[in-house]
Amino acid sequence: MTKGVFVCVLWILVFCTPCAGKKTTDIPKDTIHYNSRDTVTAYGPNSMVRNVKQGRNGTILIAAWKGIFRYDGKSFTNITSKISSPSFWDVLEDRNGNLWLATRDSGVYYYDGKSFQQFTTRQGLANNFVCTIYEDRAGIIWLGTGDGVSRYDGKSFRNFSTKDGLSNNSITTILEDKTGKLWFGTRGEPCFYDGKTFTVFRNKAGKAFTNVWSIIEDKKGAIWLGDNDGLWRYDGSSYTLVSKRGASAMIEDKKGNIWTTGSIDPPNGKVWALSRYDQSSLYNAKPTVTEVMSIEGPGMLCGLLEATDGSIWFGALGSTSGVFRYDGKTITDFRKNKIRNNG
């Protein structure tokens, strides 16, 4: 396979979505019970890692193409080794300690620690490709799919699409801000939902943000968006293009630094990097950016997490598929069990 063909296939795997879906509130259960033990290894996944999330008691949850892994500080457990669907995309541990597992083609799995329950379009999910999972402050689960947003209240689904005012049906990320508005990043324009109405988010010049893959709210209440043009900040009245570096994933750490993974030359995507924007210079004309790690294509850096111990976890796909941890000095590659010295 040539390099050009490989890159095309890689982008198809990451950015193409199914488009079929249906709406229903009937929830017939599809429960799967297992008696065999989970697979435990000393190494992390060696396939695409799209998202990394914090679990309870300091555990790390990793959504990899070939499984959902839990890291307890010593070993990795593939908790989905008995599920036939290999294409996991996101993971969430809800307030009750149950896991929600998003897949690219098999809907979402709910895991209570004993058995799995699968939700697909048959149970009312908008689409069987689920890109992102979010729990709001009321405990409602929101699922961003390839055909709109599904809201699950524990009993039934309610689906929203462009027919209801959603800006685009392909959902990439979800955030609830401090005022209770829900923000939706899409492969078109982002929008927010106040519980009644969807509003498309544009700057004062009327220019739309497009292909938004990450949205966060910082400690000051500013909204940050990563789109095709780079990294933007909205303070409630004005918009600032902070950087032309991409931000496919973004977090604010405990010290107020902004971390991103993304292409440093969007939309070309030839080089991807883990970058840190220093909190003391975030509002400067040119904030201080530290490039912690970079890779050349074919390949990408994806999901981001600051763990309870302050370490930064991130995923990768392509030639460097796997999960990494940065402790401020060294980068640990768990797939290859190597230590990369940084600086």
Q: Tell me: the pLDDT tens digits for 174-186?
A: 999 999 999 999 9
How much is the pLDDT for 268?
Answer: 74
How much is the pLDDT for 7?
Answer: 38
Average pLDDT over residues 33-61: 81
Q: How far is CA 137 from CA 177, 193, 306, in A?
A: 10, 15, 20
CA–CA distance, 51 with 313 (Å, rounded to integer): 10
8 domain-assigned:
no
> Sheet of 88-93: strands edge to edge?
31-33, 115-119, 108-111, 99-103, 88-93
Average pLDDT over residues 121-134: 97
248 domain-assigned:
yes
Question: Is pLDDT of 37 > 60?
Answer: no
pLDDT single digits (tens) 199-224: 998 876 667 788 999 999 999 999 99
For residue 49, what are the contacts with CB-CB under 8 A and spacing of at least 6? Answer: 62, 63, 64, 65, 302, 303, 315, 316, 317, 321, 322, 323
Question: Is pLDDT of 21 > 50?
Answer: no
Higher pLDDT, 338 or 188: 188
Whether the Cβ atoms of residue 106 and residue 116 lie closer than 8 Å to each other: no
For 21-25, 54-58, 174-178, 256-260, which range has the lowest pLDDT when averaged over its residues? Answer: 21-25
11 domain-assigned:
no
How confident is residue 160, by pLDDT bands cut at 50, 70 and 90? very high
Average pLDDT over residues 53-81: 93
pLDDT single digits (tens) 239-267: 899 999 999 999 999 999 999 999 998 77
Return the closest-CA partner of residue 150 out of 328, 27, 44, 14.
27
CA–CA distance, 129 with 205 (Å, rounded to integer): 34
Its domain, for residue 164, covers: 31-341
103 domain-assigned:
yes
Backbone angles phi, psi at 8, to 5 degrees: -60, -45
Mean pLDDT of the residues in the chain? 86
pLDDT single digits (tens) 87-123: 899 999 999 999 999 999 999 999 999 999 999 999 9
Average pLDDT over residues 30-39: 51
Q: How far is CA 320 from CA 26, 40, 68, 248, 314, in A?
A: 42, 22, 18, 16, 12
Give the chain's domain count.
1
How much is the pLDDT for 22?
Answer: 39
pLDDT single digits (tens) 265-300: 877 778 999 999 999 999 999 999 999 999 987 789
CA–CA distance, 66 with 84 (Å, rounded to integer): 10
97 domain-assigned:
yes
Higher pLDDT, 203 or 229: 229
256 domain-assigned:
yes
CATH number at 249 reads: 2.130.10.10
CA–CA distance, 173 with 251 (Å, rounded to integer): 13
